[in-house]
Structure 1
Amino acid sequence: MLSVPRDRGTVLLMFPAAMLIVLVLGGMAIDVGLSQVRARELQSVAASSANDALASLDIVALRNSGDIRFDQARAQIIVAESIAAGPLPSATIDFVGVQPDALGRAEFVVTLSLDVDLVIAPALPGNLATTRITRTESVTILG
């Protein structure tokens, strides 16, 4: 006589656990994908803002003495307007200014941050409803 195994119900118990794992992994993929898309958009907004902010360069001082000077208040306003007109108006400005690059050339630098509301993570255990993304973009001046 053949003996019949007595663990016929284990598949019924393993299937819900497997489905839960698949749902959690799928949710993580959705949140990571959303974060990556927002990061790329923020990088694009930072690059366009840095290019736009070059309009705050003092052309008269550059022509007369060769000095690179910026109107910091005007640069801040230009970056804020560029962000407001772009796809991520809720992005915040962390830094706008001029810094030397590795070769000593002047670079106009814009650093932006964005809080991304996650879709699936708030339903999972833990306290992760948003994630903060920061991107920096620079433009070399007269390089």
Structure 2
Amino acid sequence: MAISKEMKKLNEKFIRIADVVSWGMGTPTNIAFWILAVVVWFALGYTQRELFARGDFLPDWFTSNAWNFPLNTITTLAELYIGFLVAAAANRSERTLRKMIEHTKQTVDRVEEVNSKQNEILKLLINYQKKELEKEEEVLKAVKGNRE
């Protein structure tokens, strides 16, 4: 039981963090920031080749001829992480949608059940009214027969 509760707490914490991060990832501000970061990175790589080649600007491993390797690594890992976040958000969305569909189905079933019961009641009332009309007609015939 304790492990189950701990896992549930951990799962809820992950879901809260994933919700916040996935919300943030989808904002125009975040998208603009990363577009700007990539543009600045490429602009620095193109205009400041000497700075990168000397290794004065950043560590040697970051400024070698393959200066874009760290950027590619970071963006690849970020894409992977974002993919997991999107999948987690999609899973939550799907679970919510399934719950809504199930709730709607149950509601429709209940409405159909109530409608069926109402139809039965209406049939009973119609049959009762027909019987009452038949009785009234018999009474009218009897009254007319006594007058003549």
Under a length normalisation based on structure 2, what TM-score does the superposition of the two structures give? 0.38
Which structure exhibits the higher relative contact order, with contacts defined as CA atoms closer than 8 Å and separated by 6 or more residues?
A: 1
Q: Higher strand share goes to which structure?
A: 1
> Larger Cα Rg: Structure 1 or Structure 2?
2
